[in-house]
Amino acid sequence: MVPYIVREYGLLSRSAEVRLEQNPIDRQAIPASAWDWLLAECCGDGLHKQLVRPRKVGGSVYLQVLNYAGVITTPCGTQLEIVPKSFASNNWLALARGRKVLLKMLNRVYDLKVREFDLGNLELFDGPLHEILIGHFLNEVKALIRQGARSSYRDNMSELSFLRGRLRTSDQLRQPPSRQHKFQVEYEEFSRNRPENRLIRSSLAHALKWSKITANQRLARELIFAFDDIPTSKDTKADFRKWQSDRTMQHYKPLKYWCELILEERNPRMLAGKHFGQSFLFPMNELFERYVGSVLRSQLRPGFELKEQASSKYLIESYSGKPAYQLRPDILILNNKRFHSVLDCKWKILSQSSTSRFRSSVDDATASQGDLYQLFAYGHKYLNGEGATYLIYPHQPGLELVSEPMEYSDRLQAFMIPFDLETDRFCGLPPDFMTTPNIDLSVSN
């Protein structure tokens, strides 16, 4: 089945038709059964009901997908891929770029070990996102089998017709006369049935169930056959805790991240429950924040360090004798153990009409009032009202840059800096805590 593709914050209309090819990437018609299911199961205020929301446009009711990217399959078999709205252009050419950026972010944040060569050739593969991820996972398992799956000794107690290992004397004496010809023994068996292999076997079963591409299905079946003597994991959490990382298990290391992702241990948003379809969704707010933090960590000057999700300060120091309203900035920069700068990452795409007003003055600032208030509170509580605060947005082509800060006071400033996801650089003048020179993307690329 060809998946329906829509961009983040795109609109879904209810239609009995299978596909409407004339719909743009920001407006897609899906089958009525899938639309009704999304409305009933993925809309509202629950932990697992934050994927879509109803929206009325031009007298018609649509479902607007929220800030998630990934793939969801409804119980009726409809497959919906949501790609990140990383670029302002409203055409299908943004699909390959958006998908490439998403996989690049996942690769870094979740340490998936996808090769740069593979990321650079995504345009050659037109399958949905989860098929790309499944393909990389299957190739990692294939490489593991070439090197050899590890075996280990495991304790085994059983009743045999011959003596093997150590005889369990007490159990043997309690044998009824009719079973005196059997031996109650305990022995060690050299077997591939170990936690790591069980988790890989379970992940292969999931991959075969999710994949609809013939090449992935064929490879998954071949790999499952190679693991035929290994059962699936009955307790994934316990098996992950037993995963060994010694010198002899280094070739297993890349697969641990894939198994954690596939078996829901690290997937930020997996719609759960027997009434839910299969899903592979990532909240873009969290993913963008973690990606920027990871890039920044590798570009800090000596003496600086980065802390994510700091939580030591409160908006109100005493409320009924206790502090209230904890302040958790996305990124906190420290210099010699002292707070230096505060960064808040916002996964927001500025509209084309507002990019020309990307100014330093409060009247022309495109940041929302709430974002500026939030940054103001961070600056006063963590920096004692003195220093630099930053709002980080994804960069867009044609974004006009102004280096002057917004002045909260003569001691506290706020900067709005776009971050280019394709080059991993901030645009404009680099902050003083960074070593890598930034690039000037003030001209449309």
Residue 310 has pLDDT above 90, yes or no: no
DSSP letter at 51 equals S
Choose between 152 and 232: higher pLDDT. 232
CA 279/CA 272 separation, integer angstroms: 9
Residue 440 has pLDDT above 60, yes or no: no
Q: Per residue in 76-103, pLDDT tens?
A: 888 888 888 765 455 556 677 777 888 8
DSSP, collapsed to helix, strand or coil, labels residue 11 as strand
Residue 43 has pLDDT above 90, yes or no: no
Lowest-pLDDT range, 198-207, 322-331, 430-439?
430-439
CA 183/CA 175 separation, integer angstroms: 9
The pLDDT value given to residue 424: 86
Lowest-pLDDT range, 246-250, 304-308, 363-367?
363-367
Please compute Rg for the chain using Cα positions: 27
Q: Are 304 and 333 in contact (CB under 8 A)?
A: yes
Q: Per residue in 151-192, pLDDT tens?
A: 776 667 778 777 777 788 888 788 888 887 888 878 667 678
Q: Are 200 and 268 in contact (CB under 8 A)?
A: no
CA 280/CA 206 separation, integer angstroms: 12
Write the DSSP string, 110-161.
TT----HHHHHTGGG--S-HHHHHHHHHHHHHHHHHHH----EEEEEEEEES
Q: How many percent of the chain have pLDDT more than 70? A: 76
Q: Are 307 and 317 in contact (CB under 8 A)?
A: no
What domains does the chain contain, in order, with CATH numbers? 4-93+268-283 (no CATH), 136-151+193-262 (no CATH), 152-191 (no CATH), 299-426 (3.40.1350)
The pLDDT value given to residue 198: 92
Lowest-pLDDT range, 46-60, 219-233, 288-302?
46-60
Tell me the three-class secondary structure of 301-335, residue by residue: CCCEEEEECCCCEEEEEEECCEEEEEECCCEEEEE
Lowest-pLDDT range, 57-61, 111-115, 202-206?
111-115
Lowest-pLDDT range, 22-31, 336-345, 384-393, 420-429?
22-31
pLDDT band (50, 70, 90) for residue 277: very low
Q: What share of the chain is helix, strand, coil (3-state, %, to 5)?
A: 35, 25, 40
| Helical residues (DSSP H) of 148-194, grouped into ranges | 169-173
The pLDDT value given to residue 222: 94
DSSP, collapsed to helix, strand or coil, labels residue 95 as helix
Minimal CA–CA distance to 230: which of 307, 340, 149, 300? Answer: 149
Using CB atoms within 10 Å of the CB of residue 167, give its burial: 0 to 12 exposed, 13 to 18 middle, 19+ buried.
Answer: middle
Longest dimension (CA), the chain: 95
Minimal CA–CA distance to 279: which of 291, 287, 267, 288? Answer: 267
Which tokens go with 193?
């049935």
pLDDT band (50, 70, 90) for residue 34: confident
Residue 273 has pLDDT above 70, yes or no: no
pLDDT band (50, 70, 90) for residue 294: very high
